[in-house]
Amino acid sequence: MSHAPATPLDRWQHWCDRRRAELSSPDSWLGLIGLIWLEPGANRVGSAPGSAVALPEGPAHLGDLVWDGSSAASLLWRPAPGSPAHIESGAESHTAGVDGIVLATDAAGAPDTVAVGDLRFFVIARDGKLAVRLRDLGWQAHEPFAGLDYFPFDPAWQVAAVWEPLAPPQSMEVPSVTGELKTVVVHGRAVFERDGQRHELLPMEEGEDGYFFVFRDLGAGRDTYGAGRFLRTAPPRDGRLVLDFNRAYNPPCAFTPFATCPLPPPENWLKIAISAGEKKYAGHG
């Protein structure tokens, strides 16, 4: 029976190891090779020139993704005759008919994945639009993982913050790398002091399992990823929470141009440099 690492340093190292394992795996963000926005109607998938979803290899016509233009959590996959593709998902079966196979997007949770060789694609739903994410499981053969670099672990960056409820709740406009704005309702803020100054962070997500922050600090673009970093915390307890900046990490868009990451809202632009957590990715262009 395994035991959790005993010291804060050990626990942080364990977290770093899991992070490296995640990013070096076949289904890493680094394996994304395409993000294609779908149009209503039949979207042709294949390696033939002019395909809406162009594959780098494989059959000229693999099939069609048929979308009725709604923001539903599913669409149809219509395989071409003799298509070698198959569907990977947790579902035991899929609804099939003369018009195609119902394919779940990520709006309903884990999306269905269409697989052919080392290529995988699935459909994401964003603000009423659908897009295909195309992944190559053999990505490391083309561009090996460059590894991750961190600031040394520093207990001083395990910052105790006060959780201040907001009454009424505050609306916050969160931008994304795609240029969209998402309105997030925030019920509180984390307040902490550093070098005699007050600093605040507003969460993008609040839940029983934890809170999620997107922030930018004065070191962004120099030591750390220029568009900011992510941080997850346990929920507040007795009006306090811990912002462990040693576990600040890069968003997916630090590793691929085919992500749809949220960016730090102006409210979360900190006026200090956070010399803790994950640094720039060395393989990022």
- CA separation for the pair 223, 248 (Å, rounded): 13
Q: Note every long-range contact of 122-127, with CB atoms under 8 Å and residues 24 or more positions apart, other chains counting.
A: 123/38, 123/65, 123/75, 124/260, 125/71, 125/73, 126/178, 126/180, 126/260, 127/180, 127/182
User: Within this chain, do residues 154 and 255 fall inside the same structural domain, yes or no?
Assistant: yes
Query: What is the tens place of the pLDDT at every residue in 215-263?
Result: 999 999 999 999 999 999 999 999 999 999 999 999 999 999 999 899 9
Tokens 């196979």: give the residue. Answer: 101
- Domain assignment of residue 24, yes or no: no
128: domain CATH number is 2.60.200
Residue that terminates a domain, selected from 141, 169, 186 = 141
Tens of pLDDT, residue by residue over 15-52, are: 999 999 999 999 999 999 999 999 999 999 999 999 99
What is the mean predicted confidence (pLDDT) over 146-163? 97
| 245 within 8 A of 276, measured Cβ to Cβ | yes
**In degrees rounded to 5, what are phi and psi of residue 108?**
-100, 10
Do 171 and 227 fall within a single domain? yes
| Domain extent for 76 | 29-141
DSSP structure class, residue 267: G
Instruction: Give yes or no: residues 245 and 170 share one domain.
Output: yes
Please determine, for residue 94, whether its predicted confidence score (pLDDT) is greater than 60. no
In a domain, 123, yes or no: yes
Domain count, the chain: 2
Residue 154 covered by a domain:
yes
- Which pLDDT value is given to residue 205? 95
Q: Could you read off the pLDDT of 99-148 as tens digits, one per residue?
A: 789 999 998 788 999 999 999 999 999 888 999 999 999 999 988 899 99
Rounded to whole angstroms, what are the CA distances from 126 to 130, 178, 194, 271? Answer: 6, 10, 37, 31
Residue-wise pLDDT for 183-226, tens only, equals 999 999 999 999 899 999 999 999 999 999 999 999 999 999 99
Whether residue 202 lies inside any domain: the answer is yes
Q: Is residue 9 part of a domain?
A: no
